[in-house]
Amino acid sequence: MLAVANPDADLEGTLRDWRRFRRQKRTADIHWIDALYQAYTTAIVGLVIVVFASGAVGDNPLSASQTAGLLAHGPGWLGGLAAFAIALGLRSGSRGGPLALERTEVRHVLLAPVDRTTALRAPAVRQLRFLTFVGIVVGAIAGNLATNRLDGGRVAWIATGALAGLVLVALCVGSALLAGGTRLPRGVASLVGVVLIGLVIADGTGVIGFSATSTFGDLVLWPLRVDLAGLVPVVVAGVALLVGMRLLGRLSLEAAERRSTLVGQLRFAATLQDVRTVIVLRRQLAMELPRLRPWVRLAVNGTGRWPVFVRGLRGLMRWPAARVARLVLLAAVIGLCLRGIWSGTTPLVIVAGMALFIAGLDSVEPLAQEVDHPSRRDATPLEAGEIHLRHVPVAVLTQLAVAAIALAVAMVPGRAQLPLEAGAVAFVPLALGGLGGALVSVLASAPSVGGNWSLAPPEAQGMRLAFRTVWPPAIAILGVTPVFFAHRAQEQGLAPIAGGVRIVPLVILVFGLICGWVRVRADIGIWWRSQMEMAHAKP
């Protein structure tokens, strides 16, 4: 009954052997047809992305003056990628990342007297190997695309792109390991990230002459100009990784266990494309909790008017500072994208639309909670659609605030400043587009495997899935198009307002239709099911 430990036992060797045993068991369970199918779908998706990106980048070679400008200002801005990777890594590490361990590994391996650094090395290397592969492939593709517009040999661009991708991954993972191993407080990690990104902006806009990460930009531009300063990020990334790996054993078990539970659910939700669940789990992972004390305490009045609206406001007043900061940041990104669109970089319409969509998902939080807890909602004498619709005004107010900040950033005097009339035309569509997409995403929820669609052929199911995935962000992107059309009008010598205003009624119409759908979607569902039952009942 009482087990006795052998003091000379090689625990780490035992762990290695058992992991190999488990790996063999898992590998034996994988059918080669499944593996081939996965490779096939990955290749198809990769091809689509490459073709789309090729079209988005365009193929007009840069002029000599444009290339000179790129060499002068490019390193500063491209350093932003390294700054972002480091900030992301520090943020992840300060929250117990970057490792996503199985919960069983935390409970059985990390609670055993096995050396934790040794125990964690294998999962860390596995994770790093996958991310490195992704970084190299994405970098090589980006390098290949760069040859469309830039001088320098194709091989040089592809090789440099692959190296830059590798360095970015190493910087991100290395920073995360360092932050996790040194138990860097979350506030400090966020501060360092903000400072790095702030320095990039200051460097890019010419306020300062050099930023901490601009050497990464020198590396990226090697095919145009070889600058040995580009070796700095390579060395820094390598050192960060090596030191971080040595600190693996100091990982916080508390954070590791919290991550182990949430990351597994997060992956599952992401696989199902269940955006709402991904958001909720991501908030839990980041420990983003509502404030105990609201920003502004609203008077409690049980018989007050507009209870749903007031409930939304109360929720808004308890938003954590991190969520407010995220929305402001997203608004700033949208503003910068609008400037980019105004200067002629059309693909930024998609980036701005995606940022608007993500902001919208935060704005519809009170409504989303009704969807999360249908039994509580259905216990009220109001119809579900009615309650959902009454949540929309607070979300509109939030999105208007996001749009206002975005336009403020876009209209700050400087290069590619958005004119006032274009901003005025875009204000409402920006707010409604992002919100419309978020409403559709939250209410359409995750794809169901039940119902009448379960018997549909794979091609039809696939089309439906693709539509459900693409439609919500597409609505948000529609909200950005007034700026695009205003810019096109200006290029054609017309007043920007004339171009932008044409699309505004369409955005408002789409939003109105979405609100109508929010109100009657349950009725439509009931009607549809009854029709299907009648059809099945017929002899």
Which residues make up the interface to another protein (CB under 8 A)? 1-7, 9, 11, 14-15, 18, 22, 25-26, 29, 102-104, 106-109, 111-115, 252-254, 257, 289, 292
Compare residues 253 and 401 and give the one whose CB is closer to another protein: 253
Compare residues 3 and 299 and give the one whose CB is closer to another protein: 3
- Closest distance between another protein and the C-beta of residue 357, in Å? 31
Compare residues 15 and 405 and give the one whose CB is closer to another protein: 15
Compare residues 103 and 468 and give the one whose CB is closer to another protein: 103
The rounded distance, in Å, linking the Cα atoms of 25 and 169 is 30
Compare residues 113 and 414 and give the one whose CB is closer to another protein: 113
- Closest distance between another protein and the C-beta of residue 298, in Å? 21
Compare residues 60 and 104 and give the one whose CB is closer to another protein: 104
- Closest distance between another protein and the C-beta of residue 176, in Å? 19
Contact 360, 434 (CB under 8 A): yes
- Closest distance between another protein and the C-beta of residue 260, in Å? 9
Compare residues 5 and 455 and give the one whose CB is closer to another protein: 5
Compare residues 36 and 289 and give the one whose CB is closer to another protein: 289
- Closest distance between another protein and the C-beta of residue 108, in Å? 6
Compare residues 29 and 533 and give the one whose CB is closer to another protein: 29
- Closest distance between another protein and the C-beta of residue 188, in Å? 17
The rounded distance, in Å, linking the Cα atoms of 156 and 150 is 11
Burial of 124 (0-12, 13-18, 19+ CB in 10 A): buried
The rounded distance, in Å, linking the Cα atoms of 187 and 312 is 29
- Closest distance between another protein and the C-beta of residue 243, in Å? 22
- Closest distance between another protein and the C-beta of residue 347, in Å? 42
DSSP string across 63-111: PHHHHHHHHHHHHHHHHHHHHHHHHHHHHHHHTT-S----HHIIIIITT
Compare residues 183 and 519 and give the one whose CB is closer to another protein: 183
196: tokens are 């790095």
**Whole-number Cα distances in Å, 379 to 375, 386, 387:** 6, 13, 12
Compare residues 261 and 461 and give the one whose CB is closer to another protein: 261
**Whole-number Cα distances in Å, 330 to 13, 318, 323, 405:** 48, 19, 10, 9
- Closest distance between another protein and the C-beta of residue 289, in Å? 8
For residue 433, which of 356, 324, 340 has the smallest C-alpha distance? 356
E strand spans, 214-358: none
Backbone φ and ψ for 320, nearest 5 degrees, come out as -70, 155
- Closest distance between another protein and the C-beta of residue 28, in Å? 10
Compare residues 108 and 376 and give the one whose CB is closer to another protein: 108
Q: Half-sphere exposure of 16 toward its Cβ, with a 13 Å CA cutoff?
A: 7
**Quick one: CA dihedral 292, 296, 299, 303, positive or negative?**
negative
- Closest distance between another protein and the C-beta of residue 277, in Å? 21
Contact 176, 89 (CB under 8 A): yes
Say which residue the tokens 């500072």 belong to: 321
Contact 425, 501 (CB under 8 A): yes
For residue 418, which of 358, 352, 350 has the smallest C-alpha distance? 352
- Closest distance between another protein and the C-beta of residue 11, in Å? 6
- Closest distance between another protein and the C-beta of residue 16, in Å? 11
For residue 431, which of 385, 484, 384, 364 has the smallest C-alpha distance? 364
The DSSP symbol for 297 reads P
- Closest distance between another protein and the C-beta of residue 136, in Å? 31
Burial of 507 (0-12, 13-18, 19+ CB in 10 A): buried
- Find the Cα–Cα–Cα–Cα dihedral 215, 217, 222, 224, rounded to 10°: -130
Say which residue the tokens 């995360």 belong to: 176
Q: Enumerate residues 6+ apart whose C-beta is below 8 A from 46.
A: 137
The rounded distance, in Å, linking the Cα atoms of 511 and 317 is 26
The DSSP symbol for 455 reads G
Compare residues 35 and 111 and give the one whose CB is closer to another protein: 111
Contact 337, 357 (CB under 8 A): no
For residue 336, which of 189, 490, 480, 150 has the smallest C-alpha distance? 480
Compare residues 251 and 278 and give the one whose CB is closer to another protein: 251
274: tokens are 């269940």
The rounded distance, in Å, linking the Cα atoms of 519 and 167 is 50
